[in-house]
Amino acid sequence: MIQTPDIKRPDRHLVEALREIGTATISSELRNLGIRNAAITGPRSFTPGRIAAGPALTLQFMPMREDQFGSAEYDDPEKQLHRHVLYHAQKGDVVVVDARGDMDSGIFGEMMLTYFVGLGGEGVVIDGCIRDSAKARDLGVGLWIRGVTPNFHAQTNIFPFAVNVPIACANTFVVPGDIIVADNDGAVVVPISLAEQVIEVGSRHAEWEEFSRLRLSQGGDLRKYYPLRADAEAEYLAWKAPGGS
């Protein structure tokens, strides 16, 4: 089993700016910057309306092998790595779990998630399941998961193997400290090296979309206003100016 030191966290202003942009625009703009698919496809929002944004703490599961994970982990809970990823948590963090898409393992339950919330955790993205789902949904933390199960985390097919290492969550590469943004559309991964570029182009995108949305709601021509055509630029700039409409 592998555990690495704590992650390097990005400046919080980057995280908050990405939260405001949203996953759909982030995904599109990352595509324009060369990241073809930043979405973690599979886990869906279990807490509709919640938005989470923060650096990734990672947890990797492997197929069960009894010589690597056995009864000793329940004789000594400190040997359970799914606990240790939470020990690293700080306010605003997001835990991302490669649970191999397994539908028979409840990676976290109510007590573990309560601890995470108490530390100020922002959200959890799992390519797999949780347990104690009714109580977990009410804890006030964002949850993006494949499903729910009554089973505990290592009851059947998988066991926790590594903390804060690069993982493939739902076949999407996640590096510890990457910025995760998750909302009703799902979760996306923003490399820290690209965060400022995404914010710059994404904020501009969100602004002209607001103008285009207004014009479309007024019966404007889709061909002119989405995407914003060159002959609408002057109108858009006038709208942006103080007192514009």
**What would the pLDDT profile of 70-129 be if each residue is shown by its tens digit?**
665 566 777 778 899 999 999 999 999 999 999 999 999 999 999 999 999 999 999 999
Q: Do the Cβ atoms of 153 and 100 come closer than 8 Å?
A: no
Residue 23 φ then ψ, to 5° = -70, -35
Q: Could you tell me which of 136, 84, 75 has the C-alpha nearest to residue 110?
A: 136
Give the type of residue at 197.
Q
Structural domains in the chain plus CATH codes: 2-191 (3.50.30.40), 197-240 (no CATH)
Cα–Cα distance, 162 to 150 (Å, whole number): 24
CA distances from 176 to 3, 117, 164, 185 (A): 12, 20, 6, 22
Cα–Cα distance, 163 to 185 (Å, whole number): 27
> Burial level of 175, CB count in 10 A (0-12/13-18/19+)?
middle
Give the per-residue pLDDT at 25: 95
Of residues 191 and 78, more confidence is placed in 191
* Global confidence as pTM: 0.89
Cα–Cα distance, 101 to 42 (Å, whole number): 8
Residue 176 φ then ψ, to 5° = -55, 130
Cα–Cα distance, 71 to 92 (Å, whole number): 34
**What would the pLDDT profile of 4-19 be if each residue is shown by its tens digit?**
777 999 999 999 999 9
Cα–Cα distance, 74 to 79 (Å, whole number): 8
Q: What is the mean pLDDT of residues 166-187?
A: 98
Cα–Cα distance, 244 to 159 (Å, whole number): 58
Confidence of residue 244 (pLDDT cuts 50, 70, 90): confident
